[in-house]
């Protein structure tokens, strides 16, 4: 992007519409017919985003395809694992503040009845009367 004189904000501004919530697009039913309403400022296909102009630098138009590759995709899943031959998902748990990750895990393993310290902490419906 630096080579083209384009910043991240230039790309964001190229993709931003003034008020996307107020665009009159969708369908309109007139009598027994339903018509699709589109605007010319909305690309019909994802690949068309690559042809959007981002900025003009020294008289040359820089297009999205020059600084990025827009496509319908996602990064490969890297958290799928096998545990004892069965499929599982690996999740990273980050410690926040003074909380104890191990204590939280122990509480999740305990039956619900053991999580309540005394009867005064139970909701009215669970006190039996």
Which stretch of DSSP H or E encloses residue 61? strand 60-63
Question: Looking at residue 42, what is its pLDDT?
Answer: 65
Q: Is the pLDDT of residue 126 over 50?
A: no
- 23: confidence class by pLDDT, cuts 50, 70, 90: low
Q: What is the CA radius of gyration of the chain?
A: 27
Which stretch of DSSP H or E encloses residue 66? helix 64-67
Using CA of residue 97, residue 99, residue 101, residue 105, what is the dihedral sign? negative
Global pTM reads 0.43
Q: Is the pLDDT of residue 20 over 60?
A: no
pLDDT in tens, 42-75: 677 788 888 888 888 888 888 888 988 888 888 8
Q: Is the pLDDT of residue 115 over 60?
A: no
Question: Looking at residue 33, what is its pLDDT?
Answer: 92
Question: Looking at residue 32, what is its pLDDT?
Answer: 92
pLDDT in tens, 72-96: 888 888 888 888 888 888 888 776 7
Domain annotation for the chain: domains and CATH numbers: 1-114 (3.30.2090)
């Amino acid at each position: 992007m630096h080579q083209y004189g384009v910043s991240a904000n230039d790309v964001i501004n190229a993709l931003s519409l003034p008020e996307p919530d107020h665009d009159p697009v969708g369908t309109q039913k007139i009598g027994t017919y339903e018509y699709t309403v589109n605007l010319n400022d909305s690309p019909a296909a994802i690949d068309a985003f690559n042809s959007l102009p981002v900025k003009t630098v020294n008289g040359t138009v820089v297009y999205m395809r020059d600084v990025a590759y827009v496509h319908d995709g996602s990064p490969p899943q890297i958290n799928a694992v096998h545990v004892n031959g069965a499929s599982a998902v690996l999740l990273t748990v980050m410690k926040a503040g003074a909380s104890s990750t191990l204590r939280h895990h122990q509480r999740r393993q305990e039956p619900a009845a053991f999580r309540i310290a005394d009867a005064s902490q139970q909701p009215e419906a669970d006190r039996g009367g």
